Amino acid sequence: MLRTIFRIAGIYWIYEKWLSHTVLSKPLPTHVALILDGNRRWARNRGWPPWTGHAAGADKVKEVLEWLLDLGIKTVTLYVLSTENLRRPAEEVNEIFRLIKEKADSLRRDPKIYKSRVKVKVIGRKELLPRDVAEALEKLEEATSLHDKHFLNLAVAYGGRREILDAVKQVAAEVKQGNISVEEIDEKTFAKYLYTNGVPNPEPDLIIRTSGESRISNFLLWQSAYSEFVFQDVNLPDFRYIDLLRAFRVYQNRERRFGL
């Protein structure tokens, strides 16, 4: 039995090394976004309450960020909490809030954030969050505001439709006040009013969704127009480095034509 286990582990190690060499020999995406999904399913499969899955998922995210940083990915966007998620049972939502605050404080104290000069930006409606959670995120943003080598965007209390509506309202107000004319409104102008304004390369090259679900769930509707999507049948807490490499390999094997 042990011999079989060691044999399988050896084959897995060889495959991961081969895959890593294959992936790293080709250009990697500059901006990777992740739809973090499957925490509740992971917990349910074990007969545990949903917040245990969220805690396991939060720990996995820290690991995934380290992988992406080590690989030199310049920009990362995480779909942490949607506006729709806020309608879940209060006990679950409160636990998610606690985890966000805890991880924001931990990230602010992480030496790697400063050594790698990672700038953190929160995209979403922070006014929908409890004050202590919003303050923890704001402190993280402030602490990293001068960093300029890597960029981490946290989509918290985020909804793609709401982002576009908010931008439309701001543009309409600018037109009404005479600051811009209708003729001046183009894609570049409109993008300045999105939550991602100021983010270098705000349009993800690759969007990965865990859990096996094949939908975008109101995530970066404007920015993802020409993103490549990879849907992986693995719940977030079980996401492995080899799964990340596989997603990169799928991305590298696609031809990005941008509608041409």
User: Catalytic positions, please?
Assistant: 37, 85
* Strands 206-209 and 75-82, sheet pairing: unpaired
Provide CB contacts within 8 A for 103, sequence distance 6+: 58, 61, 62
Phi and psi dihedrals of 213, rounded to 5?
-75, 140
Cα 240 versus chain centre, distance: 16
Please tell me whether residue 163 adopts helix, strand or coil conformation: helix
Give the bridge partners for 16, in sequence order.
Answer: none
Residue pair 204/28 in contact (Cβ under 8 Å)? The answer is no
Query: Would you give the distance in Å from CA 88 to the centre of its chain?
Result: 20
- Phi/psi for 194 (5° steps) reads -80, 160
Nearest to 49 by CA among 57, 40, 58: 40
In the chain, how long is the greatest CA-to-CA distance?
Answer: 76
Contact 239, 210 (CB under 8 A): yes
Which residues touch 85 (CB under 8 Å, ≥6 apart)?
Answer: 93, 96
C-beta of residue 158 within 8 angstroms of C-beta of residue 82: yes
**Cα atoms found within 13 Å of the Cα of residue 250, Cβ hemisphere only:** 16
